[in-house]
């Protein structure tokens, strides 16, 4: 790959279909497939070593992102670990090549050995369509086991590699689950609870919990996850199927009061064109929630929309607090967990905002 002056920029992986035609994989020239595959093996080894180093101190956790695409200099490749099962996504033409996938699998097997018994390929049909790749379905690449039980911060969850959103769970929130647990108390309301990540952590601290999602399958999975964990000393969690906007409007109008509210909605702004509508949605959610929070109440509010900047999110929250007539401390600004590192030259690798706030 060269610039307009014929100066060498490096070696890139090419896609004939994507809007991103070239994805840099090395700043050095690589001659032929064998050197590319050798470099990919090296990058896999480095990614595994990084996770081993910092997760060795993560108590009671055996699920995390093992390879994070551009951040690990493996553009188009995602690998998540759930205990003894790996979930792999090949999101570009290059990473979908059979020789490259086999090299990745062989290197992962060499690094992890008997710790992992199966690898599942997760298929995103829309991505394959955009990359003009053949239609495919999620399937086992090795082993026979597609379901397992994993732990985040000592809380246990079911995992089915052939079901669920993303690669199956929201591992990027792992450290935010623990932070929320440390601050929260009293009566809790968890909106967009999905499979219970926040709610099950709050259960170790709060007196009562209502967890809300619009997806019945997600709530059923959350109830199954709750049953995996010790119930002694935990409050009974009320799992509720509802539209978050309608429920928050009704609850705030009815004068409901909480000491803890968690807002973890899906991405509202999937493009710049959707930014104004997204900010309006975020403000409505946070305004309704703040109206219900008592003094010393805790708001954990998140955005996973890359197009919503940290400053935009903070400005929205400031405006919502003013309209709600509440004074708000910003206790912590948080992002995605350390297994989702940010590459400074690729700002898209930083997308998750998680603000922990206290009503004063």
Query: Where does the chain have alpha helices with state H?
Result: 33-55, 98-112, 125-130, 174-183, 197-202, 216-228, 244-253, 275-292, 310-324
Superfamily of domain 11-154: RNA methyltransferase domain (HRMD) like (3.30.750.80)
- Give the residue-averaged pLDDT of 52-65: 85
Give yes or no for a contact between 201 and 176, defined as CB atoms under 8 angstroms apart.
Answer: no
| Per-residue model confidence as pLDDT tens digits over 163-194 | 765 556 899 999 999 999 999 999 999 999 99
Told to judge if 357 belongs to the known catalytic residues of this protein, a careful annotator would answer no
Query: Using 50, 70 and 90 to split pLDDT, how confident is the model at 106?
Result: very high
Whether 116 and 48 have beta carbons less than 8 Å apart is answered as no
- Of the pLDDT bands very low, low, confident and very high (cuts 50, 70, 90), residue 14 is confident
Q: Which two tokens stand for residue 188?
A: 């809790």
Q: What is the pLDDT of residues 258-312, one digit of tens each?
A: 999 999 999 998 889 999 999 999 999 999 999 999 999 999 999 999 999 999 9
Domain boundaries, the chain: 11-154, 170-359
| Active-site residue, selected from the candidate residues 206, 304, 354, 357 | 304
Task: For residue 142, report the phi and psi dihedrals to the nearest 5 degrees.
Answer: -155, 155
Q: What is the CATH number of domain 170-359?
A: 3.40.50.150
């Amino acid at each position: 790959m060269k610039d307009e002056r014929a100066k060498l920029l490096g070696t890139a992986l090419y896609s004939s279909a994507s809007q991103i035609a070239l994805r840099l994989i090395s700043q050095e020239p690589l001659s032929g497939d064998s050197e590319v595959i050798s470099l990919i093996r090296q990058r896999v080894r480095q990614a595994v070593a990084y996770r081993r180093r910092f997760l060795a101190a993560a108590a009671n956790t055996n699920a995390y992102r093992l390879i994070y695409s551009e951040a690990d200099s493996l553009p188009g490749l995602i690998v998540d670990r759930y205990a003894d099962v790996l979930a792999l996504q090949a999101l570009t033409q290059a990473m979908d090549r059979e020789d490259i996938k086999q090299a990745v699998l062989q290197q992962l097997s060499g690094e992890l050995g008997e710790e992992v018994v199966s690898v599942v390929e997760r298929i995103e049909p829309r991505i394959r369509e955009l990359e003009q790749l053949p239609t495919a379905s999620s399937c086992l690449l090795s082993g026979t086991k597609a379901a397992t039980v994993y732990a985040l911060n000592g809380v246990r969850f079911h995992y089915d590699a052939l079901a669920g959103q993303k690669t199956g769970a929201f591992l990027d929130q792992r450290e935010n689950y623990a932070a929320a647990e440390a601050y929260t108390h009293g009566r809790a309301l968890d909106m967009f609870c999905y499979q219970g990540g926040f709610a099950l952590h709050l259960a170790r601290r709060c007196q009562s919990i209502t967890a809300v999602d619009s997806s019945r399958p997600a709530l059923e999975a959350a109830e199954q996850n709750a049953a995996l964990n010790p119930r002694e000393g935990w409050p009974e969690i009320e799992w509720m199927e509802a539209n978050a906007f309608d429920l928050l409007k009704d609850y705030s109008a009815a004068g409901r009061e909480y000491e803890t509210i968690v807002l973890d909605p899906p991405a509202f702004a999937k493009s710049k064109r959707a930014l104004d509508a997204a900010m309006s949605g975020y403000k409505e959610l946070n305004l309704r929630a703040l109206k219900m929070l008592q003094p010393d109440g805790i708001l954990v509010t998140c955005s996973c929309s890359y197009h919503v900047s940290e400053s935009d999110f903070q400005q929205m929250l400031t405006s919502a607090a003013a309209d709600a007539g509440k004074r708000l401390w910003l206790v912590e600004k948080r992002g995605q967990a350390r297994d989702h590192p940010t590459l400074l030259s690729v700002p898209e690798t930083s997308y998750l905002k998680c603000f922990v706030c206290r009503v004063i």
